[in-house]
Amino acid sequence: MTNTGTKEDPRVAMWPNYSPPQGLIFSHGKGSELITEEGEAYLDFLSGIAVTGFGHAHPHLVAALTEQASKLWHLSNVFRIPAAEELARRLADNSFADSVFFANSGTEAIEAGIKAMRGYHAAQGSNDRNRIIGFSDSFHGRTIAALAAAGNQSHMQNFVTGDYGFDHVDWENLEQLKNAIGPQTAGIILEPIQGEGGIRPVSQAFLQEVRELCTANGILLMFDEVQCGVGRSGHLFAHEALGIYPDVMALAKGLGGGFPIGVCLTTQVVADAMVVGTHGSTFGGNPLAAAVGNAVLDLVLEDGLLDSVKEKGQFFNQAIEDLIAKHPEKIESVHGLGLMVGIKCKISNANLLVSLRDNKLLVGKSGSNMIRLLPPLNVSQEHVEKAISILDSTLAAM
Ligand SMILES: *Cc1c(COP(=O)(O)O)cnc(C)c1O
């Protein structure tokens, strides 16, 4: 068959696993806006699903990428990569972790964490201690083990056979969790703020109980901060808002600002198990990814950035509360932390998303009939107010 690649039929040679709106093609972006070939600007409050945390074409990120691009793209990990070592050091210095492994995506960072948790117990002489507990409504990525960890039947069916060593309990159900823990339990994995299954921050009280259970039973606690990490919550990592720390953590989305990167961060005792030959990645932490990751960290760690995310988040939250009061038959509640915002709808979230897009505001969907707003962390007050105004007029017209 001939691949015409025309605008009318642009995806002829791609799997039908995505369904982007036909006829809407962006040619470039600037800050919080995406611009079509015809020059129409859309407000991007999805950020490639929490990835372009500093908007599009940020000068500091463009400079880091292009400067590195003219020097050295790739070596693989058969040679030292100083920029990756620097990024690892900075991540460790700014987190609970002592040591990191670089991957290229969220799901790969999750896979690394799963292996590290099992590897740790094996190194302690407990090879049979290999089961990991996950929670309902979780999302950890699309590779087989990440699917098995989340346990979402609609994602797993036809693809995941067997349990791959995972047990599942209901979100925030302490009794179920206690019953699920056994001598084979190696680790527990959860998102401090659930993203795909509905924007749902874990409660401090529950997470405290989980941490204590883990510590008392020698179980490792892994946080999936692939979506909520890297400043999105108004804290560098979302769990810092609760003051409860993991042994293992996965990051990805926001860390590359659009360049693919994933990281698994661990304490030293966990890292010590991952000796030569246990794990690897051809691309992970290559010079381009490391250059951009360092440049993103420069921006996230800049004085005042996290405070401004908190302030914009509070403003946004209050403005949405006002919209709920104005449109109580259409939207019912607001969820999240910082600039990770979910609005639970009474009308269909899919319909609201399309109407907002027609009005040039791009948002995402999430579980529990929510729409998800993930603007760039450096979004301007003017653009936040514009988004609120589009939400208001769109809801009024629906
Ligand atoms: C997106 C996401 C993943 C998977 O990341 P990919 O880069 O798509 O593999 C894992 N966990 C969470 C919480 C995510 O939001």
For residue 1, pLDDT beyond 70? no
**pLDDT (mean) for 341-367:** 98
Average pLDDT, the chain: 96
- Report how far apart, in Å, the C-alpha atoms of 59 and of each of 10, 65, 66, 209 are: 30, 10, 10, 44
Query: Regarding beta strands 131-135 and 166-169, do their DSSP bridges make them parallel or antiparallel, or are they unpaired?
Result: parallel
Query: Regarding beta strands 131-135 and 33-36, do their DSSP bridges make them parallel or antiparallel, or are they unpaired?
Result: unpaired
Q: Which CATH class is domain 10-58+304-397?
A: alpha beta
Query: Regarding beta strands 166-169 and 41-44, do their DSSP bridges make them parallel or antiparallel, or are they unpaired?
Result: unpaired
For residue 8, pLDDT beyond 70? no
Q: Which fold has domain 72-300?
A: Aspartate Aminotransferase; domain 2 (3.40.640)
For residue 391, pLDDT beyond 60? yes
- Residues of 80-113 as b/e, b for ≥16 C-beta within 10 angstroms? ebebbeebbebbbeebbbbbbbbbbbbbbbbbbb
**Predicted local distance difference test score (pLDDT) of residue 308:** 98
**pLDDT (mean) for 171-187:** 98
Q: In a 10 Å sphere around its CB, with 0-12 CB exposed, 13-18 middle and 19+ buried, how is residue 206 labelled? A: middle
**Predicted local distance difference test score (pLDDT) of residue 3:** 46
Give 272 Cα–ligand 1 centroid separation in angstroms.
26
The domain limits of the chain are 10-58+304-397, 72-300
Atom of ligand 1 nearest to the CA of 110: 10
For residue 6, pLDDT beyond 80? no
Q: What is the pLDDT of residues 201-255, one digit of tens each?
A: 999 999 999 999 999 999 999 999 999 999 999 999 999 999 999 999 999 999 9
**Predicted local distance difference test score (pLDDT) of residue 293:** 98
The residue whose two tokens read 């793209």 is 73
Give 141 Cα–ligand 1 centroid separation in angstroms.
5
On whether the pTM is more than 0.75, the answer is yes
Q: What is the pLDDT of residues 88-142, one digit of tens each?
A: 999 999 999 999 999 999 999 999 999 999 999 999 999 999 999 999 999 999 9
Range list of β-strands (E), 7-75: 26-30, 33-36, 41-44
Q: What is the pLDDT of residues 18-37, one digit of tens each?
A: 999 989 999 999 999 999 99
Percent of the chain with pLDDT over 70: 97
Atom of ligand 1 nearest to the CA of 105: 7
Q: Give the pocket of ligand 1 (CB within 6 Å).
A: 105-107, 110, 139-141, 191, 195-196, 224, 226-227, 252-253
Q: For a pocket test of ligand 1, which of 226, 233, 249 has the largest count of ligand atoms closer than 8 A to its C-beta?
A: 226
